[in-house]
Amino acid sequence: MLASRLFFALFWVSTASVAAEPDVARQKELVHLVRQDCGSCHGMTLQGGLGPALLPADLRDKPVEGLAATIYYGRPGTAMPPWKQFMSEAEANWIVQKLMSGFPQ
Amino acid sequence: MRLILSLCLALLVAACAAPQLRGTGDLGLVIERASGHVTLVDTTTRQPYARIGGLGDLSHASAVYSRDGRYAFIFGRDGGLTKIDMLEAKIVKRVIQSGNAIGGSISQDGRIVVAQNYTPGGIKAFDAATLELLSEVPAEYAPGKFSKVVGLADTAGNKFAYALFEGGEIWVTDFSDPRRPTTQRFPAGSQPYDGLVTPDGRYFLAGLFGEDGVALLDLWQTEKGARKILERYGRGEEKLPVFKMPHLRGWTMAQGKVYLPAIGRHEVLVVDVATWKEVGRIPVRGQPVFVMARPDGRQIWVNFAVPDYGKVDVIDTLAGKVVTQLEPGRGILHMEFTPRGENIWLSARDDNKVLIYDTRTFNRVGEIAADNPSGIFFTTRAARIGF
């Protein structure tokens, strides 16, 4: 029962992320945004700056939803602003997945 | 005709073989952040004259100059410190001095180059001639707790002032004995994000991100400690998101006033230096990043954080308001005035160009190609306190 629910949940997550995959042109824009604009605090190579490093090893133990929410809504009390005017929640999710698996150049 | 051409070529070759004498006062460099290159430029001809690669990660890179204006010291994000000969257009020496750096400064006597680091947090002093490490000051503000260092600026007597982002303090380190530095500490406020020394070297200001206000330290009377100015300038209003931290340097002073970027407000704050009281605020078209006075102080040029970084506003200090609004290009990251301010160079990152404007007519008078240009640094910085 639990196993089938888990299977269902996994299935749902994977279809959702496939459905949310931005098109190629938009992916290019998002990569540019992350490298150049997120890069002003996190470093263009994402090794950190005023903001923390965002390399796969740094994010490994963090939940995807939490990271996506940090991008989308920001984190009050820190220098991290909300980026929701620049992207959808699905796109924030896509960015997190790419960050966790090694971000494109 | 062909003879004349080959004669010219021969002359050119001869000119290359025997180095031509020239000064460096009208030279500078452009950081090409993505590709680890710098392009060396001549502000008289408005042309590049060389390009140097192999400088590592140059995102947020900055440069200072030796007092003779011959050598540039470039601080890269990856902790690389590179010394460049502006005349021979080559790397003289390069060291990796930390894991993650954010800039640096050079001492009053020109002998010590100091790098400010995020990881490990602190500053390091190097011999300007050899880049040999002389000493370091870890930014350990509480036992076992290290802070990122921001706003490093040179002051009189081979002292350097800087601020600690997590530590919330201003530190002044005296390198008059460069191998045995001594440090004074001053409480500053919540999350200083950058700092500046006034052009006379007297005051150090640290902009605060975690609260509305600016910390001020009189370096002539450090026993009085740091105090806050512009407190609560937001007056409890909700802040707009800040998509890029503003940058402070002594260029922000003009005509007895300091023009400071507000944090989370689309305004430039104007402070009278005699009283350190706010005397005005000027609405602009975005979150200001660089608020830079033309060398004569008549104009203040303001660029903005994303998404407004295609715009530049120009404030006339006599009128006390924005008089010109420009849309020069995509991703205007940095600006630099020619030594006496007749031109300003703007880096348009996403256009892969540096744009040159006449500051009187606002006409574009030139442009040069550069790969994702960011910082522009001219050798005139060599003679300025706090640059």
pLDDT digits (tens, 9 = 90+) for B62-79: 999 999 999 999 999 889
- How far apart are the C-alpha atoms of B292 and B278, rounded to whole Å? 18
Residue B119 is nearest to which of A48, A83, A85, comparing CB atoms? Answer: A48
Computed over every residue of chain B, the mean pLDDT equals 94
pLDDT digits (tens, 9 = 90+) for A45-104: 999 999 999 999 999 999 999 999 999 999 998 999 999 999 999 999 999 999 999 999
**B4 Cβ contact partners less than 8 Å away, ≥ 6 residues apart:** none
> Is A43 a member of any domain?
yes
Residue B242 is nearest to which of A39, A44, A81, comparing CB atoms? Answer: A81
User: Do the chains contact at B59 and A81, CB–CB below 8 Å?
Assistant: no
Given a cut of 80, whether residue A17 has pLDDT beyond it is no
> Is A45 a member of any domain?
yes
> Is A2 a member of any domain?
no
- How far apart are the C-alpha atoms of B25 and B42, rounded to whole Å? 9
Average pLDDT, integer, range B324-349: 97
- How far apart are the C-alpha atoms of B250 and B153, rounded to whole Å? 9
**B46 Cβ contact partners less than 8 Å away, ≥ 6 residues apart:** B343, B356, B365, B366, B368
> Is A13 a member of any domain?
no
Q: Would you state the pLDDT for residue B32?
A: 95
> Is A16 a member of any domain?
no
Q: Would you state the pLDDT for residue B344?
A: 98
Chain A residues touching residue B34 (CB < 8 angstroms) = 44
Chain B residues touching residue A47 (CB < 8 angstroms) = 57, 77-78, 100
Given a cut of 90, whether residue B155 has pLDDT beyond it is yes
pLDDT digits (tens, 9 = 90+) for B43-67: 999 999 999 999 998 888 999 999 9
- The CATH number linked to A77 is 1.10.760.10
Peptide bond into B307 cis (omega under 30): yes
Min distance A4 CA to chain B CA atoms (Å): 43
- For residue A7 the two structure tokens come to 């299977």
Q: In chain B, what percentage of residues exceed pLDDT 70?
A: 95
Given a cut of 70, whether residue B339 has pLDDT beyond it is yes
Average pLDDT, integer, range B225-241: 88
> Is A4 a member of any domain?
no
Q: Would you state the pLDDT for residue B255?
A: 93
User: What's the domain range around A41?
Assistant: 23-101
Q: Would you state the pLDDT for residue A20?
A: 63
- How far apart are the C-alpha atoms of B377 and B86, rounded to whole Å? 12
> Is A89 a member of any domain?
yes
Work out the pLDDT band at B119, boundaries 50, 70, 90: confident
> Is A41 a member of any domain?
yes
Overall domain count for chain A: 1
